[in-house]
Structure 1
């Protein structure tokens, strides 16, 4: 179910992708999904993952597969 993806040349699990976006450990993550968005920095493909950074919070995170750009729905 939880499909791994290549991000910046490395294979990542949904939980690892969430940790890259959040900058710290997360409790749980859902599967990685494609988006129809292009990265605002490099134009690369953006993927998303829903995750729980804490027991009381659910966040959708977005990450470019080609560069360092990342964002969450907290920032939108």
Structure 2
């Protein structure tokens, strides 16, 4: 599934990556279920892999209900 509802709005993989990263990204993969609960509100979490720059690939996690998000970037 490529588009998902996040915080009441339908988002594309690129838009979800932008919400997590805070700025535009070069490319994003499909949105998938993360099989985990949000630590803030207990809502469902989705994940998306994306490239914030030409030399990096990041997996970002975002709650579908609240503002919580995180990445696996170090």
TM-score if structure 1 supplies the norm length?
0.94
- Runs ≥4 in structure 1, deviation > 3 angstroms? none
Aligned-partner Cα distance in 1 for 2:33–2:27: 19
In structure 2, runs of 5+ residues without a counterpart are none
1:21 counterpart residue number: 20
Other-structure match for 1:57: 56
Shift of 1:55: 0.2
Q: Name the counterpart of 2:33.
A: 34
Specify every segment of 5 or more residues in structure 1 that has no aligned partner in the other structure, as ranges: none
